Amino acid sequence: MTPLMHAAYKGKVDMCRLLLRHGADVNCNEHEHGYTALMFAGLSGNKEITWMMLEAGAETDVVNSVGRTAAQMAAFVGQHDCVTIINNFFPRERLDYYTKPQGLDKEPKLPVKLAGPLHKIITTTNMHPVKIVLLVKENPLLAEVEALQKCYRVLDLICEKCMKQKDMNEVLAMKMHYISCIFQKCVTFLKEREDKLDGFIKSLLKGRDKDGFPVYQEKLIRESIRKFPYCEATLLQQLVRSIAPVELGSDPTAFSVLTQAITGQVGFVDAEFCTTCGEKGADKRCSVCKMVMYCDQNCQKIHWFTHKKVCKTLKEIHEKQELEAAKEKKKQEKKQKKDETELEEAGSTSEEQSAPGPDATKEADPNLWIQTDQREETELTKEPEARAPRPDSPLENRGRKKSSKLDCQLLRGFLCFVFKPSFLTVL
């Protein structure tokens, strides 16, 4: 391992920076199993170092001796944030290529001033359509019909390149295509609607009357995926297979399927997401219904026009859920107490069994069975396996085994006392 690999693996940010500044080769993979510094960064789970390696020019498609890339290695050890960073990295130079006139072009395909804002959108890990439109809106240079048209044409070119290059990158191609589709819709709204991009955001967020589900948003994302121009792509087929059977309004949404495919994030388990822009780590709740989360007041304000229609209903649902949760908690506590007393009883019966006999077990069984039956009536949610009859439980078995072993020893001792040892071996 090179010093840079060591520093990356140990998560030493300053040391990595120092070594890179002094010319350490980020792509050296003379490691005995072909690991690179980026792979070690991914394994360590340090997001900053992962990003630093990428910015220093680390290749993402190099594989180690077991044929795995850095992203795959990071995913293997559950470092999903690093996977996301690697999968969404796009070197600025690749974009800057389009800011210079190529071939017979008189002017570049992408004006230099647009490269920065476009790069920011390309490397974003949150691909929520509202977030993308907010990023466009944030930059007055970008929020113009002509600028957006130039940008989506460049995105389409990058998409094509990703599919036609030797090491095809379907994930990146899909991401470029998707952002291009959102940009194209931005152009439509800028041209046709008086409220411009705000109108687009409103359309994206507007929930249907029944349950507040944003139908337009779902349809737009589905349509964008379907319009991916390379129908032989495995990723496209995979996405269509996951999305097509899902009814509008059911899970998973097209957004979650797409995000999972592109960022490599598996499930949204341990974080809250903003209802408006999909940003991870939202921690502000609607104070009325307490059912939806936002990044900040701005996101809440944007969403209010549609949320206000369902807020009251959600509030009722929330209150009902709270009541049920309280009831369930009480039931659990009761059950726990019951289990504890049962355990005590079971413990004492198995102790009594040290002088075993079929009668002892017979006595214990019916009691336990009755209690299991009662539980069956009240708790239908439990899995059948969880309701397995108690006599077979390990606790009982252990008790029985223990007592029979003890008995054998007693018998042996007694026999030893009475008969000669040579006779015992025959026995």
Contact residues for Zn ion, defined by CB under 5 A? 274, 276-277, 279, 286, 288-289, 295, 299, 311
The tokens describing 404, both together, are: 């029979």
Question: To the nearest whole angstrom, how small is the minimum distance from the Cβ of residue 318 to Zn ion?
Answer: 9
- Cα separation, 342 vs 349, in Å, equals 10
How would you classify residue 286: left for phi > 0, otherwise alpha for psi between -120 and 50, otherwise beta?
beta
The tokens describing 104, both together, are: 């017979």
**Closest CB to Zn ion among 315 and 375?**
315
**Residues 294 and 286 sit within 8 Å (Cβ to Cβ):** yes
Question: To the nearest whole angstrom, how small is the minimum distance from the Cβ of residue 204 to Zn ion?
Answer: 13
Note the helical H segments in 11-144. Answer: 13-21, 37-44, 47-55, 70-76, 80-88, 92-96, 112-122, 129-138
**Closest CB to Zn ion among 128 and 150?**
128
Whether the bond into 252 is cis, omega within 30 of 0 = yes
**Closest CB to Zn ion among 312 and 412?**
312
**Closest CB to Zn ion among 272 and 345?**
272
**Closest CB to Zn ion among 130 and 172?**
130
The tokens describing 369, both together, are: 């069975």
Question: To the nearest whole angstrom, how small is the minimum distance from the Cβ of residue 294 to Zn ion?
Answer: 6
Exposure string over 189-205, b if 16+ CB within 10 A, otherwise e: bbeeeeeebeebbbbbb
- Please enumerate in sequence order all residues whose Cβ is within 8 A of that of 230, keeping only pairs 6 or more positions apart, or say none: 163, 170, 173, 236
Question: To the nearest whole angstrom, how small is the minimum distance from the Cβ of residue 246 to Zn ion?
Answer: 24
Question: To the nearest whole angstrom, how small is the minimum distance from the Cβ of residue 287 to Zn ion?
Answer: 8
Q: What is the DSSP letter of 273?
A: B
**Closest CB to Zn ion among 1 and 288?**
288
Question: To the nearest whole angstrom, how small is the minimum distance from the Cβ of residue 348 to Zn ion?
Answer: 53
